[in-house]
């Protein structure tokens, strides 16, 4: 049976300091989310067992909350372990008594890997969004799609010859000579005239607050036109019929127009000029109108980078990178939610 935390003398001694942190962001998230369904999802996939000395191991919910702290504060496994041991607010959020120590970095890493292998983070993301929808924090009057490159430091070094086709690198010579230090599941791409190596994250967000509804991860060299259907299929919240889907011109294609018809969504993807077709005045005005709302999903990428030191690959391989992208999206949605909730009460 999972150990229940009992107040200690040390907890009582810190009560005055604890009162000050009960109204901070972490306490607001603790109050906003019902953690029991989260715990049940984790417990199905994470078998705790016992430690080598026979003590009950740390609960999955505790370890998941530690991962949230990692992403919110841009910390590594080592750093979050130290911060929990030093910080009353971190300990309070996780439910760790002041006289208990944090799980060590290796436990945190093994937990993340176990949940990645089971696909648990997809379920956790869906459950958190379900709760936010029930609280009217997620609103679905329209949706927006956008993609962003996540660079990895584990890229090939030295000179490499590239063959460039449109906005992609279709061939990378010398790939067979890449050393083990290179993340081979990442890929090269040309973006804005810059050659980059990494992954591509695709977000589908709602157009009221820009909260993320689904996440899809692929190597960086996949064209945006091929990403609309996969990210739509990742949505776990039912989308109302005939709401608009907005996106930049990179998602414009005949195939995507048909996909939106199949999903009963209005096609509000920006128009794209071609060699034989220049944009008309009204098409340019349409693009401007879409741009006034589409920026909300672009803001998500910038906010994750600015607030959480995100947008750079923490891990190696596609599966772990998808975990990172899901965690960053979860953290963004949770970070915004208390403020959105307060505004709802004001109105």
184 DSSP 8-state letter: T
Q: What is the pLDDT of residues 201-246, one digit of tens each?
A: 999 999 889 999 999 999 999 999 999 999 999 999 999 999 999 9
Q: What is the pLDDT of residues 67-120, one digit of tens each?
A: 999 999 999 999 999 999 988 889 989 988 877 888 999 999 999 999 999 999
Partners of 90 in the β-ladder: none
Nearest partner of 235 among 253, 265, 212, 210, judged by Cα: 212
Domains of the chain listed by start with CATH number: 9-118 (no CATH), 124-148+199-346 (3.30.420.10)
Tokens read off for 70: 């990692």
Q: Quick one: average pLDDT of 295-318?
A: 91
Tokens read off for 268: 């509000």
Q: Are 128 and 33 in contact (CB under 8 A)?
A: yes
**Which pLDDT score is estimated for 185?**
93
Average pLDDT over the chain, rounded to whole?
Answer: 86
20 vs 255, higher pLDDT: 255
64 vs 25, higher pLDDT: 64
**Which pLDDT score is estimated for 16?**
52
Angle, CA 184 vertex, CA 179 and CA 190 arms, to 5°: 110
**Which pLDDT score is estimated for 190?**
86
Percent of the chain with pLDDT over 70: 85
Classify strands 266-269 and 244-247 as parallel, antiparallel or unpaired: parallel
**Which pLDDT score is estimated for 168?**
58
Give burial (CB, 10 Å; 0-12/13-18/19+) of 25. middle
**Which pLDDT score is estimated for 5?**
55
Alpha helices in the chain (DSSP H): 9-13, 15-21, 25-32, 35-45, 60-72, 77-86, 88-94, 105-118, 120-134, 228-233, 254-262, 281-308, 318-346
Mean pLDDT is lowest, of 51-60, 257-266, 276-285, for 51-60
pTM: 0.88
319 DSSP 8-state letter: H
Q: Quick one: average pLDDT of 320-329?
A: 97
**Which pLDDT score is estimated for 160?**
63
Q: What is the pLDDT of residues 125-183, one digit of tens each?
A: 999 999 999 999 999 899 999 999 999 999 887 666 665 555 555 544 445 567 788 99
């Amino acid at each position: 049976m999972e150990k229940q935390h009992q107040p200690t003398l040390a907890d009582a001694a810190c009560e005055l300091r604890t009162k000050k942190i009960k109204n901070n962001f972490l306490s607001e998230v603790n109050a906003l989310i019902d953690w029991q369904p989260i715990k049940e999802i984790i417990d199905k996939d994470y078998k705790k067992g016992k430690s080598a000395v026979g003590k009950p191991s740390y609960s999955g919910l505790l370890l998941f909350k530690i991962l949230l702290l990692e992403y919110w504060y841009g910390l590594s496994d080592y750093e979050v372990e130290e911060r929990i041991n030093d910080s009353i607010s971190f300990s309070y959020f996780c439910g760790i008594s002041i006289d208990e120590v944090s799980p060590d970095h290796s436990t945190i890493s093994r937990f993340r890997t176990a949940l990645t292998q089971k696909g648990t983070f997809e379920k956790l993301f869906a459950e958190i969004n379900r709760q936010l929808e029930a609280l009217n924090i997620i609103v679905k009057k329209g949706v927006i799609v956008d993609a962003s490159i996540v660079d990895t430091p584990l890229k090939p070094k030295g000179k490499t010859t590239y063959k460039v086709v449109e906005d992609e690198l279709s061939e990378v010579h010398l790939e067979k000579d890449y050393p083990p230090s290179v993340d081979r599941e990442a890929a090269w791409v040309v973006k804005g005239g810059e050659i980059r190596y990494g992954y591509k994250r695709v977000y589908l967000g709602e157009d009221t607050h820009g909260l993320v509804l689904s996440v899809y991860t692929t190597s960086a060299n996949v064209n945006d036109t091929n990403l609309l259907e996969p990210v739509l299929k990742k949505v776990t919240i039912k989308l109302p019929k005939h709401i608009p889907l907005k996106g930049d011109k990179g998602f414009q294609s005949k195939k995507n127009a048909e996909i939106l018809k199949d999903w009963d969504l209005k096609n509000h993807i920006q128009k794209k000029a071609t060699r034989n077709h220049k944009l008309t005045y009204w098409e340019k005005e349409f693009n401007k109108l879409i741009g006034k709302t589409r920026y909300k999903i672009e803001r998500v990428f910038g906010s994750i980078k600015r607030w959480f030191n995100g947008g750079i690959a923490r891990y190696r391989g596609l599966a772990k990178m998808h975990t990172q992208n899901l965690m960053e999206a979860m953290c963004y949605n949770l970070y915004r939610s208390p403020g959105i909730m307060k505004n709802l009460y004001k109105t």
